[in-house]
């Protein structure tokens, strides 16, 4: 029965942690635009950014045939947007590939001539700052939980929703200290972006139709 277990990931199979920054003037941009021109391809990529899937699982999620799903998966692989990260087995013992994005995010951008390297560096710092902010906020929550009761670290932000039966106000939103730090950090980051007014057109984890 050990043959039915998923294979361990190799270094080659593990998804890359960095974001892919792609200028619309890059040679690879035309291929990426061509690949993402189909609505179904973008839909499949969006699903993979949410959760890695097999081709059969994807066909159910996006409501299309398995043949059509495999066609779009091949297109995404050829453009280096997704890769095979694992292998699973069906109940009948058939081997199935598990697909996931090659990068944590894909950012397409445009800028004035001569500013590309500066903007690419700025975008890289931006994405890195958000990742670090998320790690720090989660770490703060973790350490607070070590020294306090879990309930004591939550800050209750209530929306006044009156119950028709009892006429009481029910709390609807609970934010931890880490959540508040993350939100505040995002606000500061995006305020800095607005003040600098960079010319950026980005797709982050989701792709618009």
Dihedral class, residue 91 (left if φ above 0, else alpha if ψ from -120 to 50, else beta): alpha
Question: Containing H/E element for 20?
Answer: strand 20-23
* Residue 48, pLDDT score: 94
Residue 58, burial from CB neighbour count under 10 angstroms (0-12, 13-18, 19+): buried
Question: Taking the model in full, what pTM does it have?
Answer: 0.52
End-to-end Cα separation, the chain, in angstroms: 44
pLDDT above 50 (res 5): no
What local confidence, expressed as pLDDT, does residue 4 receive? 37
Instruction: Please give the domain boundaries of the chain with CATH numbers for all domains.
Output: 2-104 (1.10.10.10), 110-196 (no CATH)
Number of Cβ within a 10 Å radius of residue 106? 21
For the cut 50, the answer to whether the pLDDT of residue 194 exceeds it is yes
Q: What is the pLDDT of residues 127-143, one digit of tens each?
A: 777 778 888 888 888 88
Tokens read off for 21: 């920054």
**Helices 66-78 & 39-50, crossing angle to 10 degrees?**
80
Residue 17: pLDDT band by 50, 70, 90 thresholds?
Answer: low
């Amino acid at each position: 029965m050990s043959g039915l277990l998923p294979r361990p990931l190799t270094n080659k199979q593990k998804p890359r942690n960095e974001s892919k920054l792609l200028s619309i003037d890059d040679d690879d941009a035309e291929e990426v635009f061509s690949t993402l021109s189909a609505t179904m391809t973008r839909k499949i990529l969006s699903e993979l950014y949410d959760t890695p899937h097999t081709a059969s699982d994807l066909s159910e999620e996006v409501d299309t045939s398995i043949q059509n799903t495999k066609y779009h998966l091949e297109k995404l692989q050829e453009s280096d947007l997704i890769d095979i990260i694992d292998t699973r087995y069906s109940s009948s013992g058939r081997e199935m590939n598990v697909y996931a994005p090659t990068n944590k995010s894909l950012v397409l951008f445009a800028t004035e001539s001569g500013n590309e390297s500066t903007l690419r560096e700025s975008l890289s710092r931006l994405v890195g700052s958000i990742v670090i902010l998320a790690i720090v906020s989660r770490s703060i929550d973790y350490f607070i939980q070590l020294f306090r009761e879990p309930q004591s670290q939550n800050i209750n932000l209530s929306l006044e929703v009156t119950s028709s039966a009892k006429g009481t106000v029910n709390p609807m939103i609970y934010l931890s200290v880490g959540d508040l730090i993350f939100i505040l950090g995002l606000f500061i980051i995006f305020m800095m972006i607005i003040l600098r007014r960079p010319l950026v057109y980005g797709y982050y984890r989701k792709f618009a139709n």
